[in-house]
Amino acid sequence: MFDLNMIQSLYAKFPDRVNAAHTLLDRPLTLAEKILFVHLHADQTLENFKRGTSYVDFAPDRVAMQDATAQMALLQFMQAARPQVAVPSTVHCDHLITAKVGSSEDLHRAKTESKEVFDFLSSVSNKYGIGFWKPGAGIIHQVVLENYAFPGGMMIGTDSHTVNAGGLGMVAIGVGGADACDVMAGLAWELKFPRLIGVKLIGKLNGWTSAKDVILKVAGILTVKGGTDSIVEYFGEGAEALSCTGKGTICNMGAEIGATTSTFGYDDSMKRYLVATGRAEVAKAADAIKEHLTADIEVYQSPEKYFDQVIEINLDELEPHLNGPFTPDLATPISQMKEMAAKNGWPTKIEVGLIGSCTNSSYEDISRAASLAQQVADKNLKTKAEFTITPGSEQVRYTIEKDGLLKIFDKIGAKVFANACGPCIGMWDRIGAEKQEKNTIVHSFNRNFAKRADGNPNTYAFVGSPELVTALAIAGDLNFNPLTDTLINEAGEQVKLDAPTGYELPPNGYAVEDAGYQAPATDGSGLQVLVSPDSERLQLLAPFAAWEGTDLKGLKLLIKAKGKCTTDHISMAGPWLKFRGHLDNISNNMLIGAVNFFNEKTDLIKNQLTGEYGSVPATQRAYKAAGIGTIVVGDENYGEGSSREHAAMEPRHLGVRVVLTKSFARIHETNLKKQGMLALTFADKSDYDKIQEDDTIDIVGLTEFTANIPLRIVLHHADGNSETIVVNHSYNTQQIAWFKAGAAINLIKG
């Protein structure tokens, strides 16, 4: 068991700190508020912070990083020159494993291909006191839930789905590597005090509906940006009846509505899960301060008084949903899928069903999906689509194998991939994907942005529960509604699938032979971390230059991105993941997925110096060589999705100075600020229309750059006209100092 002392000492302080907040605010508190107030940094005074406005300093209990983001986080940490990490931290190797043939072969190949990176991560971890989870151990969020998450705790992680740990009653937040670096270096971690959204779950899940459908429904209501700068707190009889891992699924996909995080009050399901995962003592400690690990009673009785927004969902009536394609908030109840697919021309033949991922690979998920797979043999059916499973951890994989569940999937021809992200992040060597054929897949992951799973822009990916995905893979048809429809079996008979059944926790307990953990050296001071100067995969960071002290004049428009521009569009994953530790090499993917407003094409923009059209990275490199700064213009919720700070570091490295959008996703905006970029928003969103392809642009007001005071932008159009527009920013005094220093890290080192 990890961290017991840390947890006990936090719990010892918990009641006093909650009471201090009670006294100051003189009203009942939500759970989210309690956790936030308990985790104020020692130098932060307790105040009645303004939600959505006040910047507040916190002291998280721990940090988690995954291999694809840890490289940059730890390269920055090395620059900070600290002997050891200041809070318990872990690294998880999960993103760099390509799914192709099956678990053991794929894992073996990844260990060879990415040896240099895994060795680097292992040795940095060893030196600085960081726990290291080897390739094959599992996906970060599942491993964290099984080993580290605890009720009432606060953690940050360099992955947007860190929020998964809300399933165990944490406030767990996804951040960029620079934020993780601050906390590991012993500094405060700053966050805008969140708004609070309450989701009351009444009734109880039944039949085909699962926890996944709760969040698919919420995503449909709130959309991909509705949770921005908010913590979502779930409560009500329906919440208590959910399993702990089901709660994790709901919190996990809170990233898809842009929420800062989501959480649930401590209850029996969490206790059962803690006990089942070998942490009875954590449960005992939590029991002792139970009333502080959930909201005050009055809050859940009159939620509208305490939350900024309240949503009520009746689980008795909730239908299974499928969200997609291309965005996780396009929610369609299964009964309406036939009509929606016909109306929109979505291909209805399902090619592949994929279950697992960090979102949905609990024992409960797998056992419920297996109950459907079992019906294939029982009812003399034949599975129509291909089927794959990516277990979330070695502990889950080992247990489902031992309990015979994998055998059931084997009978329907399923491929078991390594305990890793695999197809969820484009690490799927899918045969034929390069032909770019229009096709449909269904999966139980969380994201379905264009090209995300297999690199094919014409793959229509729909997100559903593992149960629904399994039923749809059996039917091979997006129009199939297992609640009402029948299938024709091999004997030509009409058969109906029974609703799934499963186990909340393994009836015979979890088991594992080698969980894949490597503890760090107790004294790493003598250890060396080597990065070869001619490595293609790793590159030590050079500091970004400080601000020149003047307004930015004569910037060229690099690209005006149209519509959805997620971090997958800005810094694509899949094959590019291999350059996550090498800033110059990965910069060759900068914005190659963004749609150019002026020609509706991706990766084809005008070079204003030559008039020629070329790729985004090459054009930007040409501006850089000419010593000319540039600006990127974006639409709503720019930078949605991942925490990858490469999406901010690449433009910074290549000489983009400003990103101007209608709105930003939280993590990306912070990442831009941390790396010394200017992240600005149109004061009047319709000014987006004023930006022309040949514009030369000045940023005015920087010499008096002050919190809460807008800046101005002068657009010099090619026809000789110019116009001035007002742009907002959300920089506070400290963040302005980051901009001036060239990056936040330049101040830590100083």
Question: Exposure string (b/e) for 669-687, b if CB count within 10 Å is 16 or more?
Answer: bbbbbbbbbbbbbbeeeeb
Q: Which of 35, 68, 163, 373 binds ligand MIC (CB under 6 A)?
A: 68
From ligand SF4, ligand MIC, none, which one binds at residue 322 (CB under 5 to 8 Å depending on kind)? none
Q: Which of 644, 657, 666, 668 is catalytic?
A: 644
CB of 671 vs ligand MIC, minimal distance in Å: 11
User: Pseudo-torsion of CA 69, 111, 398, 282, nearest 10°?
Assistant: -40
> What single DSSP character describes residue 13?
H
643 binds, among ligand SF4, ligand MIC, none (CB under 5 to 8 A by kind): ligand MIC
User: Between residue 513 and residue 552, which ones bind ligand SF4 under the rule CB under 6 A?
Assistant: none
Site mask for ligand SF4 (CB under 6 A), range 131-160, x = bound: --------xx------------------x-
Place of tokens 């521009």: 565
> Which of ligand SF4, ligand MIC, none binds 678 (CB below 5-8 Å, type-dependent)?
none
Indicate if 644 belongs to the active site. yes
CA trace torsion 73, 74, 79, 80 (10° rounding) = 80
Tokens of 400: 């489902």
- Least distance between ligand SF4 and beta carbon 643 (Å): 9
H-run or E-run covering 309: strand 309-314
Answer yes or no: 316 catalytic.
Answer: no
Measured from the CB atom, the residue of 373 and 441 that comes closer to ligand MIC is 441
Site for ligand SF4 in 191-230 (CB under 6 A): none
Q: Which of residues 133-172 bind ligand MIC (CB under 6 A)?
A: 159-161
Least Å from the CB of residue 358 to ligand MIC:
8
- The only residue of 164, 619, 642, 735 in contact with ligand MIC, by rule CB under 6 A: 642
**Considering only CA atoms, which of 316, 154, 296 is closest in space to residue 241?**
316
Give the burial class of 461: count Cβ atoms within 10 A of its Cβ; 0-12 exposed, 13-18 middle, 19 or more buried: buried
One of 37, 273, 445, 731 touching ligand SF4 (CB under 6 A): 445
Let me know if 642 is a catalytic residue. Answer: yes
User: Token pair of 694, please?
Assistant: 């040949």
Segment lying near ligand SF4 (by CB under 6 A), choices 147-155, 421-429, 472-480, 661-669: 421-429
Using CB under 6 A as the binding rule, whether residue 357 contacts ligand SF4 is answered as: yes
69 binds, among ligand MIC, ligand SF4, none (CB under 5 to 8 A by kind): ligand MIC
Q: Residue 69, interface with ligand MIC (CB under 6 A)? A: yes
Tokens at 656, concatenated: 């983009």
Structure tokens of 31? Answer: 């759970």
Active-site option among 39, 67, 89, 94: 94
Rg (CA), the chain: 25
DSSP letter string, 617-675: HHHHHHHHHTT--EEEEE-TTBTBS---THHHHHHHHHTEEEEEES-B-HHHHHHHHHT
Interface with ligand SF4 (CB under 6 A), residue from 155, 199, 424, 505:
424
* Binding to ligand MIC, residues 245-274 (CB under 6 A): none
Told to check if 577 binds ligand SF4 by CB under 6 A, we report no
Q: At its nearest, how many Å lie between ligand MIC and the CB of residue 241?
A: 29
Of these, 172, 421, 591, 658, which contacts ligand SF4 (CB under 6 A)?
421
Binds 641, which of ligand SF4, ligand MIC, none (CB < 5 to 8 A, cut-off by type)?
ligand MIC
For residue 423, the minimal CB distance to ligand SF4 (Å) is: 9
Cβ-based neighbour number of residue 559 at 10 Å: 28
Question: With CB under 6 A, what is the number of residues at the site for ligand MIC?
Answer: 14
Which does residue 606 touch among ligand SF4, ligand MIC, none (CB within 5 to 8 A, set by kind)? Answer: none
**Is 341 or 649 the residue whose CB approaches ligand MIC more closely?**
649
The CB density around residue 521, as the number of other CB atoms within 10 Å, is 14
Position 161 contacts ligand SF4 (CB under 6 A):
yes
Select the residue interacting with ligand SF4 from 31, 130, 331, 358 (CB under 6 A). Answer: 358
Q: What's the CA gap between 668 and 671, in Å, rounded?
A: 5
- The helix-helix angle for 280-288 and 268-276 (nearest 10°) equals 150
Question: Could you tell me which residues are beta bridge partners of residue 156?
Answer: 63, 173
Distance CA 371, CA 408 (A): 9
Across 313-351, b (16+ Cβ under 10 Å) vs e yields bebeebbbbbbbbbbbbbbbbbeebbeebeeeebbbebb
CA–CA distance, 63 with 291 (Å, rounded to integer): 26
Q: Please identify, using beta-carbon distances, which residue of 59 and 257 lies nearer to ligand SF4.
A: 257
Which pair of tokens denotes residue 275? 């006990």
Which residue, 341 or 354, has its beta carbon nearer to ligand SF4?
354
Catalytic residue status for 95: yes
For residue 90, the surrounding DSSP H or E stretch is strand 89-92
**What is the binding site for ligand MIC (CB under 6 A)?**
68-69, 95, 159-161, 174, 425, 447, 573, 641-644
Which residues form the catalytic set?
94-95, 159, 447, 642, 644
**What is the binding site for ligand SF4 (CB under 6 A)?**
95, 139-140, 159, 161, 357-358, 421, 424-425, 445-446
